[in-house]
Amino acid sequence: MTTTTGEPEEGRLARDPLEEVARRLLVEIGEDPDRDGLKETPGRFARWWREFSQYDAGAADTRFPLHTQGQIVVVSDINVWSLCEHHLLPFSCALTIAYKPDGDVLGLSKFARIAHRHAHRLQVQERLIQDIAQELTAVTGSPDVAVIGQGEHLCMSMRGVRTPALVTSSVFKGIFEEYGPARQELIATAFPRR
């Protein structure tokens, strides 16, 4: 059946181009995208990619007045997912973030918001950690910032060598650059003895 414009009825509601990508992928790996079980997969695929890439982490600059003397704030076990830009496969990353407040403290949820903002794009773990550290420095106004990430990358676990492993990357700025008490406290939090 055609519409008054001569366009086929099923073409009136144009599919998301990502659905077409998913359909083509299914065909290329020998599947039938119209079979039961796969009929809705292209739509789910498209929605997921849109949701992941258009994720809005919200405001990340809420600070509260709190005057401390030499205190270090460490937030650990923030878990994010990102996508390896080399293979388009996911990697998970557990983050430990620290800073020395400079007058105000950052709201607790803002650490996760900052982390998710940078994870929701094609990434490499090293840049993810660097991006988080840069935003935290800008938002807090503190030069004393550290971020440690431990990630498992499915591009290594599922393909190639097919061996799970944890990759650790870090950024240390200000007081965390030296192997002193601040860095020792951070390392003890990030890597507790098991």
Q: What is the pLDDT of residue 69?
A: 76
The number of distinct structural domains making up the chain is 2
Q: For residues 193 and 140, what is the distance between their CA atoms, to the nearest angstrom?
A: 30
Strand segments (E) across the chain: 63-65, 73-84, 90-99, 104-106, 122-123, 145-153, 167-172
Q: What is the pLDDT of residue 36?
A: 96
Residues 105, 173, single domain; the answer is yes
Q: What is the pLDDT of residue 103?
A: 82
Q: What is the pLDDT of residue 194?
A: 57
CATH number at residue 159: 3.30.1130.10
Residues 35, 92, single domain; the answer is no
Q: For residues 81 and 59, what is the distance between their CA atoms, to the nearest angstrom?
A: 20
Q: What values do phi and psi take at 184, rounded to 5?
A: -60, -40
Neighbour count for residue 87 (Cβ, 10 Å): 15
Residues 45, 139, single domain; the answer is no
Q: What is the pLDDT of residue 21?
A: 97
What's the burial of 155, exposed, middle or buried (CB within 10 Å: 0-12/13-18/19+)? middle
CATH number at residue 36: 1.10.286.10
Neighbour count for residue 69 (Cβ, 10 Å): 4
Neighbour count for residue 154 (Cβ, 10 Å): 15
Residues 105, 154, single domain; the answer is yes
Q: Flag whether 85 is in a domain.
A: yes
Evaluate whether 62 touches 100 at the Cβ level (below 8 Å). no
**Amino acid code (one letter) for 19:** E
Residues 46, 78, single domain; the answer is no
Residues 71, 136, single domain; the answer is yes
Full residue range of the structural domain in which residue 70 is found: 63-190
pLDDT tens series, the chain, 194 aa: 444 444 455 554 678 999 999 999 999 999 999 999 999 999 999 999 999 999 999 999 898 888 777 899 999 999 999 999 999 999 999 999 999 998 889 999 999 999 999 999 999 999 999 999 999 999 999 999 999 999 999 999 999 999 999 999 999 999 999 989 999 999 999 998 75
Evaluate whether 76 touches 189 at the Cβ level (below 8 Å). yes
Residues 68, 144, single domain; the answer is yes
Residues 31, 93, single domain; the answer is no
